[in-house]
Amino acid sequence: MLAGVAAGVGGAVLVEGEQGIGKTALLRRALGRAGTARCALAWGAADELGQRFPLWLMTECLGAGRELAAGNRGPPGRDGPGAGEGEEQAITPGPLAVLAGPVPPGDPVAAGVERLLARVDRWCAVSPVVLVVEDLQWADEASLLVWQRLAQAVGQLPLLLAGSLRPGPVGDELDRLRRGLLSRGGTVVSLGPLALRELSELAGRLAGGRPGARLAEAVRRAGGNPLYTRELVDALARDGRVRVEAGVAELAGPRGVEVSVSLAAVIERRLSALPQEMAGVLRWAAVLGQEFTVTDLAAVTGRTAGQLMEVVGEAVTAGVVGEAADARAAGEGVVAGAAPRMAFRHGLIRQVLYDGMPEALRAALHLQAARGAGAGRRAASTGARVGGRVGAGVAGRCRARADLPGAKGGGRAVARCAGPDPGR
């Protein structure tokens, strides 16, 4: 695509994938050398705070902040990547000016949109332009409008427009942007987790040797995510828990692996962007284990499967959970069983959710889950066999929670509640 825009052929590409999967690395590798292809390059990234300010993202990306603030009366800023233009130029009609349309009087945001589109028009009249905008899920609506208008014009301009996006519960604007890009022949690149071989190679480079069995098992909990893998291996190395002998890097010390403060902070930032309702359901799922069924989740949350359909679907879209077969492909262990199962995409995410709850709360949740299991068994005794199977499954997974650090209190609660007496 870079060679195409250098030859005057525009295009648009959207790279999507979860946090830390390599979107920025891919864009930098593909487009970071735009200067060597004699293309002007502008690069920007959205953040959560910038959503409050109309056009903040595109204004920062296009380097027009001073000029937009001063208008035609103040000193002009740089009007192109790497080149100044003396005086603020009049808006030259072009493909983007036509797309912008008339500006409603007294609407500063609409005027700002037109100004930014005209700016890109002028840049493209001088040289091919590569414009990269990252983290569009945090973009303000006016900046998304600018990106969408630019995407509509790439067939008429020497403009390569690139963006990145995390999957998850997205608004109507992002949905329209993605669909519109595809309908106009744009490219959407979806990055998935690393395969086991690639994950092993990455861990080996980080650890300084081919991963041994225990280290490989710990790394698989990162679910094929390069950022999580790097944070995990670096933390283990800092703690002196990686020993390299005869070219093999192995995990030393206790079998369990605590989530480091730095890795927990990375994952918590990802979780903080999820809707509160989803986060609450995911905490219940973390209590049930690495794997769970929607039926189990309904039993412990008191909701019907139908009520959970939307929130579980959004969690799948966000890449937090998936079907157990997907988790197997990403390197997670999957318990064999006849019932369709869900699984956390990353064991580390599940552990951060679980460890983030106070021990007293974990114990209470385990107790409540086990009581739900007892209710299921009582229902089975009156003919509701499915409910009994659900209850037994929930109780079994709650007992198994002693495999996580800090789960002893919850395990004792389950042992008291899920004993031989189904009424306990």
**pLDDT at position 325:** 62
- Does pTM top 0.75 for this prediction? no
Q: Which of 178-192, 246-260, 406-420 shows the lowest mean pLDDT across its residues?
A: 406-420
Average pLDDT (248-271) is 89
**pLDDT at position 375:** 57
Residues 200-241: tens digit of each pLDDT: 999 999 999 999 999 999 999 899 999 999 999 999 999 999
Q: In the predicted model, is pLDDT for residue 406 greater than 80?
A: no
Tokens of 70: 């001063």
**What residues contact 290, with CB distance under 8 A and at least 6 apart?**
327, 332, 333, 343, 344, 347, 350
Q: Which one, of 328, 365, 358, lies nearest residue 343 by Cα?
A: 328
**pLDDT at position 408:** 44
Residues 323-338: tens digit of each pLDDT: 886 444 444 433 333 3
Average pLDDT (98-108) is 63
Q: In the predicted model, is pLDDT for residue 384 greater than 90?
A: no
Average pLDDT (159-188) is 86
Map residue 343 onto helix, strand or coil: strand
Residues 117-130: tens digit of each pLDDT: 999 999 999 999 99
Q: In the predicted model, is pLDDT for residue 405 greater than 90?
A: no
**pLDDT at position 76:** 30
**pLDDT at position 373:** 56
**What residues contact 246, with CB distance under 8 A and at least 6 apart?**
none
Percent of the chain with pLDDT over 70: 73
Residue that wins the pLDDT comparison between 9 and 386: 9
Average pLDDT (358-384) is 66
* Burial of residue 313, with CB atoms counted within 10 A of its CB: 0-12 exposed, 13-18 middle, 19 or more buried: exposed
Q: Is the distance from CB of 2 to CB of 34 less than 8 angstroms?
A: yes
pLDDT level of residue 282 (50, 70, 90 thresholds): very high
